[in-house]
Amino acid sequence: MKESFDKSIAREKYQEISKYLQSNFDVPENMFDTAVYKVCQERGFDGKAVLAQGDIGRKLKQHEVEPYMKRCSYLAPRLKLEPKKVEVEKAKVERARVQQKTVNIEIIP
């Protein structure tokens, strides 16, 4: 069931989902709105209402909105959200430090 939002709630949801995506996933800039739409669908929100209050909703002209929303709704199920690779790199560095410390401990008599 999709919830309907007034503009202020939709704007808050857009900002919340944007922060969530930026901090947790590597999303290409040209697919960001589609990712927002996908997260809205997963959480049961009205993706079109949320996107309309986002950055793109203010940039598009009235006749451009509907085709853009159709594009987002078409691509959203096909979009794979990849976790940020920065976290993976941090984990590798941390693991290397632990292994290095272990090696150093074994070398010292």
**Is residue 1's pLDDT more than 50?**
no
**Is residue 106's pLDDT more than 70?**
no
Q: Where are the domains of the chain?
A: 7-83
Q: Each residue of 57-102: pLDDT tens digit?
A: 777 777 787 888 888 888 888 888 777 765 556 666 666 666 655 5
Q: Do β-strands 82-83 and 25-26 pair in parallel, antiparallel, or remain unpaired?
A: antiparallel
**Lookup result for tokens 């999303």:** 27
Q: How far is CA 41 from CA 34, 74, 86, 89, in A?
A: 11, 12, 27, 30
Q: How far is CA 63 from CA 6, 25, 92, in A?
A: 22, 31, 48
**Lookup result for tokens 């290409």:** 28
How confident is the model at residue 64, as a pLDDT? 81
Q: For residues 54 and 18, is the Cβ–Cβ distance under 8 A?
A: yes
How confident is the model at residue 43, as a pLDDT? 86
Q: Each residue of 2-40: pLDDT tens digit?
A: 445 577 888 888 889 888 888 888 888 888 888 888 988
